[in-house]
Amino acid sequence: MKTIKIDGLIKNNRISTQDLLLEIQEKIKEGYTDFEINACGQHDIGGSSWAKDRDKNLTFTITNPGQRVGAMARKGTTIYVQGSTPADVGWLNSGADIIVKGDCGDTAGHCAASGNIYVSGRVGTRSGALMKFDPKYSKPELWVLKNTGSFSFEFMSGGIAVICGFDCNDIESVLGNRSCVGMVGGIIYVRGPIKGVASCVEIKNLEKDDIDFLNSGMDRFLTAIDKRGLKDTLLNFNEWKKIVPLPIDKRISKTSVKEFREKNWIKGGIFGDFIEDDYKVYPLAATGDGRLQQPIWNKEKCINCKICITNCPQNAINEDFSINKDKCIGCSFCATVCPKLAWEMKDNKKEIN
Ligand code: SF4
Ligand code: SF4
- Please state, in angstroms and as integers, the Cα–Cα distance from residue 264 to each residue in 201, 208, 267, following that order: 20, 40, 8
Using a 6 Å cutoff on CB, does residue 342 contact ligand 1?
A: yes
Using a 6 Å cutoff on CB, does residue 335 contact ligand 1?
A: no
Domain boundaries, the chain: 3-251, 283-352
Using a 6 Å cutoff on CB, does residue 79 contact ligand 1?
A: no
Expressed in angstroms and rounded, the spacing between residue 316 Cα and the centre of ligand 1 is: 14
Residue 292 is predicted with a pLDDT of: 84
**What gap in Å lies between CA 50 and CA 96, rounded to an integer?**
12
Q: Hey, which of 317, 336, 337, 338 would you mutate to test ligand 2's pocket, going by the most ligand atoms within 8 Å of its Cβ?
A: 317
Using a 6 Å cutoff on CB, does residue 38 contact ligand 2?
A: no
- Per the DSSP assignment, residues forming a β-bridge with 293 are 347
Residue 250 is predicted with a pLDDT of: 82
Task: Please report, as a single letter, which amino acid is at residue 196.
Answer: G
Task: Indicate the pairing of strand 343-347 with strand 293-297.
Answer: antiparallel
Phi, psi of 107 (to 5 degrees): 55, 40
**Average pLDDT along the chain, 353 residues, taken 10 residues at a time:** 92 95 92 95 85 77 97 94 97 96 97 97 98 92 98 97 95 96 96 94 97 96 97 95 91 72 71 69 78 93 94 94 94 93 86 52
Residue 29 is predicted with a pLDDT of: 87
Expressed in angstroms and rounded, the spacing between residue 310 Cα and the centre of ligand 2 is: 11
**What gap in Å lies between CA 86 and CA 38, rounded to an integer?**
15
Q: Hey, which of 308, 317, 318, 321 would you mutate to test ligand 1's pocket, going by the most ligand atoms within 8 Å of its Cβ?
A: 308
- Please state, in angstroms and as integers, the Cα–Cα distance from residue 211 to each residue in 118, 138, 207, 240, following that order: 19, 19, 6, 10
Residue 168 is predicted with a pLDDT of: 95
CATH number of 3-251: 2.160.20.60
Expressed in angstroms and rounded, the spacing between residue 187 Cα and the centre of ligand 1 is: 60
Q: Atom 8, ligand 1: which residue's CA is nearest? A: 302
Spatial neighbors of 6 by CB under 8 A, at least 6 apart, are 20, 23, 24, 27, 35, 36, 37, 38
Expressed in angstroms and rounded, the spacing between residue 334 Cα and the centre of ligand 2 is: 5
Using a 6 Å cutoff on CB, does residue 160 contact ligand 2?
A: no
Question: Was domain 283-352 assigned CATH 3.40.50.12280?
Answer: no
